[in-house]
Amino acid sequence: MTTPIWLGPVSVHLPAETVAVAALPEVAALPAARRDHVLSLGIDEIRCLRDHDGRPGPGAEVDLAAAAAQEALNRAGLAAEDVDALILVQGRAPRYLLASEATRLQARLGAIRATTLSVGDLGCVSVSAALDVGVALLRGRPAWRHVLVAMGAVAATEGRYRPPMTVLGDAGAAVLLGREPGRWGWLDHAQRSDGSYADLFHIDYRDVPARHWRETCADEPTYSFRLAMESRSRLRDLNREVLAARGLTPDRLDAVLMQNLSRGAFAFWQGALGVTIGDACPTNLARYGHLGPIDVLANLDDTAATVATGGHVLVMNSSPVAAWSSALLVRGTDPR
């Protein structure tokens, strides 16, 4: 059996400003039915990164990723020069076209010897893919000891409501992967995607000033019904795959986690898959909203205190592009 690669510490860096969802200007401007929907999502407030003009400054995602990455290194007692590979989970709106956000992060941290790359284009599931790449790099290069995965999530538009799904918050996150026993062991992972939904959600940005960018769902019934049914089948199959690989059954799991979209989404997945979603998910949904690829890391970190050493956690992730993943982790002894 393959020896696990270990994850931890995890760091989530949150902007200082907290905004109540009910106080968002766009919510007051919505039709009554839409406004009621927003207020029923189970999101009380979000964190927002803003500069003097009320919008995140250029490079805000890298700023948040760098802050989280430095916190993770500090908690691990490592210097940036100790990092063998640096993986940036790409955001949705880079500062420039053609430029490199990944090497900008490398320079910010001083990770001068790290093999640096980015993983993205899969929405929330990008973090799952990045972790899988990091694990593969460590397994394929015996001399390497530390891989750092970092990301920033900043709303690409002035509007925070993504109809009909969720409300977007801002944050940064980072996690170290290594060989020494840590907080979580990465046991198995499976991922699938379906390009027929590639632009179901999109932002039309060419020849459009940034202040007018809007997130658009091309077909809400497709998202709410057809994609939901396909996602149920995909995640059910992926869960079976990763559990069977380790000889486990759902009743032997200590926790099941996923990304944070809405209270209704949690209820749907619990009924559709016959699982109980861990308490960290609705708690973080209520106080942070949806943080894209950061959700599952924040939930995993907050769940650690409730899982005994050797306990197993299943982490599901999905995105409307569409992509799905399931990962199986084991609780280690490291309290960080």
Chain center to CA of 222: 23
Whole-Å CA distances, 89 to 61, 293, 322: 10, 8, 17
Q: Give residue 3's pLDDT.
A: 76
Q: Give residue 291's pLDDT.
A: 98
Q: Give residue 53's pLDDT.
A: 54
Q: Give residue 52's pLDDT.
A: 44
DSSP letter string, 290-328: B-TTHHHHHHHHHHGGGS-TT-EEEEEEEETTTEEEEEE
Contacts 24+ apart (CB under 8 A), 303-308: 303/255, 303/257, 303/278, 304/183, 304/184, 304/331, 304/335, 306/254, 306/255, 306/278, 306/279, 307/254, 307/255, 307/331, 308/254
What residue segments make up the domains of the chain, in order of their start? 5-181, 186-331
| CATH dotted code for 186-331 | 3.40.47.10
Residue 126 CB partners (closer than 8 Å, separation 6+): 89, 90, 119, 120, 151, 293, 319
**In the chain, which stretches have pLDDT less than 50?**
52
Q: Give residue 57's pLDDT.
A: 59
- Predicted TM-score (pTM) of the model is 0.96
Architecture of domain 5-181 in this structure: 3-Layer(aba) Sandwich (3.40)
Identical topology for domains 5-181 and 186-331: yes
CA 25, 46, 149: angle at the middle one, nearest 5?
Answer: 135
